[in-house]
Structure 1
Amino acid sequence: MKIAFVGKGGSGKTTLAALLARHLTDGGHPVLAIDADINQHLAVALGGTPQCAAQLTPLGEFLPQMKEYLRGDNPRIASAAEMVKTTPPGAGSRLVRVDEENPIYAACVRRVGDVRLAVTGAFTEDDLGVACYHSKVGAVELLLNHLVDGPGEYVVVDMTAGADSFASGLFTRFDRTFLVCEPTLRSVGVYRQYAGYARDYGVALSVVGNKIEDPSDVDFLREHVGADLLTWVSRSTYIRRAERGAVGPLDDLEATNRVVLHKLTDTVDATVQDWPALTRHAHDFHRRNAAAWANEQTGTDLTAQIDPGFLMGPAPAAEVLGLTPAR
């Protein structure tokens, strides 16, 4: 399952993404965590040092090699230079699994604590005034387009804050999106904006309340987000210490908040992966990007990269990866 954490800046989405990634890893599941936020804090939230994140090779820096690897011998893609962030897989493309050995992971994925982590990289001084942050998360979008997650495997992505995710098609790449929401009007405003866009694309969205002090906070969220409210995290001494850099064992997390992590996991596991929808959205956003800028940039009609007979999912993935699909 591919899982996104979104929400207003400061809502706690990075903290909850880290907690869920650690919880799933502790359960023995293959997990890949990706920091796709403009503020790169997931490594620290997982228990690493600030220097740890800086030592990771950002996915964006490996993008040319990533394109060459994922292209494989797909006859619809003449060269890696013609691949863009929305290029979908087709016959001949290389697909990747959550936990495997490949050149992308070898270059960009490292363990922070027990969790395998990849990062987009921070927005640097060289980027100011000349680059958009979404150019960095393009590497994440391309990777997710080619990633096959099997049962009991998880990708946890800490997304950029607010509704900025809608500047690309990345928001449609997930099986379940958790929107972390504080009991404030500003946080609820982000929920309304995100939910309005997400429903147009059938995005499976659940709200996780955070920084809950008392029942009135829960009532406030119920009033404003309704049935989308899945669960909530109470004010936590453990989380407060973790946000100051002292990330302790998960066993030290308050019992009520451990229940929240189980609730998130159960919700993800109960989500049905809609491979036809994932494929359809990938093709749709590729057409949009081709028309908006990519055809002009590459000098070719990139819509020809779409393989109408290729459907992402267990059966074609098994064929590409040389596995035997389940019957």
Structure 2
Amino acid sequence: MKIALVGKGGSGKTTLAALFARHLAGTAPLLAIDADINQHLAAALGASDEEAVMLPALGDHLADIKEYLRGSNPRISSAAAMVKTTPPGRGSRLLSVAGANPIYDALVREVGGIRLAVTGPFATEDLGVACYHSKVGAVELLLNHMVDGPGEYAVVDMTAGADSFASGLFTRFDATFLVCEPTLRSVGVYRQYVGYARDYGVRVHVVGNKVDDESDVEFLREHAGDDLLTWVGRSAYVKAAERGRPQPISALEPTNRDALDTMRIAVDACAKDWATYTRQAVEFHVRNATAWANDKVGEDLAGQVDPEFVLGPHVMAP
């Protein structure tokens, strides 16, 4: 299952992504990806500042990623002709969550017992321009080419707010958890996100965070209704970790561990729909091709679409 953590900046999205990844770790194949503008997932998983800076960045190896994923797909003229929305087809190389491949060998590292890939740090000059989107685009390419099996998890810490709507990235997940504080600003981000996501059949589960009492829960329920899945209370465990005193995940407060269990149950209840997954990848690719990518690359990128190809476990067979 592919899982996104989204929400307002400062809502605790990255902290919850780290908690959920640690909750899953050791029980199932797992890959965590930091796709946020602010690259803090490694630190939340226990890396020092020096270790986090030394992690290889997906965004710095985009050409290598494209070349590998292109494989022998005859519809893609070159790696340079691939853009972030390029869908796989016959001849493309596909990824699993845990299987070995040159991309993982080069760019995935273990941090706090979690296999982690990062887009890389964003400089000020990256924001709002093609460089920034190309870094997140590396994540979209990986997810477009990933066939995840039952009981496998890819947990992605997404950029805050609704920036993922700039492409089809928000449709690349089986479960989307929107981390929401009991504040008007935070529920405003929820309304913005869910209003667009539902047009594409994306189910958003709200996970309350920094909840102090029942009035906070009632506030979230008033604004999120049935989308409110569960909530996480203020945590001495998290505070200790943020002060440099990490503990085993088993030391997390029982009520907060129950919330993580509820999230996993919701993920496992999702039904895979590979046909829709493939169709939406094609839809956003053709849209982006018309809007800007054809002009950038100098060819009609709609020709990259393989109309007979549907992603799924069947295409991973030898």
For residue 76 of structure 1, give the secondary structure of its aligned residue in structure 2: coil
Higher mean C-alpha displacement, 129-138 vs 162-171:
129-138
Aligned partners of 1:208 and 1:233 also within 8 Å: yes
The aligned residue for residue 136 of structure 2 is: 137
The aligned residue for residue 97 of structure 1 is: 96
The aligned residue for residue 18 of structure 2 is: 18
Encode CA deviations 1:271-306: one digit per residue, 9 max, x unaligned. Answer: 011111111110011001101111111111000100
Aligned partners of 1:134 and 1:168 also within 8 Å: no
The aligned residue for residue 157 of structure 1 is: 156
Encode CA deviations 1:181-221: one digit per residue, 9 max, x unaligned. Answer: 00000000000000001100001210000011000000000
Amino acid at match of 2:303: A
Q: Give the count of matched residue pairs.
A: 318
Unaligned runs of 5+ in 2: none
For residue 262 of structure 2, give the secondary structure of its aligned residue in structure 1: helix
Does residue 210 (structure 1) correspond to residue 209 (structure 2)? The answer is yes
The aligned residue for residue 110 of structure 2 is: 111
Question: Which 4+ stretches in 1 moved above 4 angstroms?
Answer: 128-132
RMSD: 1.2
Aligned partners of 1:47 and 1:246 also within 8 Å: no
Distance 1:130 1:189 in 2: 25
The aligned residue for residue 2 of structure 1 is: 2
Distance 1:236 1:130 in 2: 37
Distance 2:125 2:255 in 1: 44
For residue 309 of structure 1, give the secondary structure of its aligned residue in structure 2: coil
Aligned partners of 1:169 and 1:282 also within 8 Å: yes
| Percentage of matched positions with identical amino acids | 69
What is the deviation of 1:243? 2.5
What is the deviation of 1:137? 0.1
Aligned partners of 1:46 and 1:247 also within 8 Å: no
Distance 1:76 1:151 in 2: 30
For residue 25 of structure 2, give the secondary structure of its aligned residue in structure 1: helix
Aligned partners of 1:30 and 1:153 also within 8 Å: yes
Query: Closer, same or farther in 2 for the Cα pair 1:129/1:45, shift >3 Å?
Result: closer
The aligned residue for residue 263 of structure 2 is: 264
The aligned residue for residue 241 of structure 1 is: 240
Query: Closer, same or farther in 2 for the Cα pair 1:251/1:128, shift >3 Å?
Result: closer
The aligned residue for residue 231 of structure 1 is: 230
Encode CA deviations 1:87-136: one digit per residue, 9 max, x unaligned. Answer: 00000100011112111111110000110000001112553686552221
For residue 156 of structure 2, give the secondary structure of its aligned residue in structure 1: strand
Distance 1:178 1:144 in 2: 17
Amino acid at match of 2:238: I
Distance 1:262 1:127 in 2: 37
For residue 147 of structure 1, give the secondary structure of its aligned residue in structure 2: coil
